[in-house]
Structure 1
């Protein structure tokens, strides 16, 4: 009996330390940037990819800052609701998604006005790749958890 109890305590201690180490690594991979830092890095990445002029950089930075601020506010709101165990109603979800799509349309039209034709085409390709990468990451996350995907089929990859 003592051996079983000591083994259980050892396993429990090992599990707790392993979880703490995983959590620490996750924070290191995704540092929390301020809105200004995020916007600055995003503009620099876009400058490298699209060869933006100084004027274009100055026009894009406020757009990205506003987008990042809105994303951060929405994330905080979702976090508060999750902590309060409050689930949004169907109408609230519709309103949030509609607002998000309106913001995406406005951002895209602003970018179309700022960028030239070649830059905008490259920007669109980058956005599609980023969107595809996000979906791929979500599929991997679901398959690791062993949960069913949103279509009700099990991922067998």
Structure 2
């Protein structure tokens, strides 16, 4: 009996350790730091130093906007106030507008080949996010 309990404890500890290691470079809340994002983009897209200097403020701004909107949603959720359909539509429209503006800026900074790779990376990430949501619902 002692052996079974010991084995169960070890399996549970191993599982938690493995899950923590898989989250590796992510910070609290599952967000990757701006520096890590820029490093990944630099290696994947072969960014020049000038491009890095132009992209870094965009990434920081995007991260700050996402954080602010998350905090606003959290505050609304805690207060029990649900946005109306029109408000949700407006939030979605604003989000799409910000994404379009970000992509336009990126297109101005990157060359055609780099931008094509950037879009492919974004579409892959978007697909992973959609699949993750579907797994949770099932």
TM-score by length of 2: 0.78
Alignment of structure 1 residues 2-41 onto 2, 5 Å: 29=23, 30-32=26-28, 38-41=33-36
Equivalent position to 1:86, from 57, 81, 84: 81
Q: 1:71 aligns to what?
A: 66
| Equivalent residues of 2:27, 2:33 under 8 A apart | no
Alignment of structure 1 residues 53-72 onto 2, 5 Å: 53-72=48-67
Give the Cα separation in 1 of the matches to 2:108 and 2:132. Answer: 31
Q: 2:135 aligns to what?
A: 140
Moved over 6 A (4+): none
Unaligned 5+ segments in structure 2 are 1-11
Q: Once the 2 structures are TM-superposed, how far is the Cα of residue 38 of structure 1 from its aligned partner?
A: 1.9
Unaligned 5+ segments in structure 1 are 1-17, 144-157
1:52 counterpart SS class? coil
| Number of equivalenced pairs | 119
Give the Cα separation in 2 of the matches to 1:139 and 1:97. Answer: 20
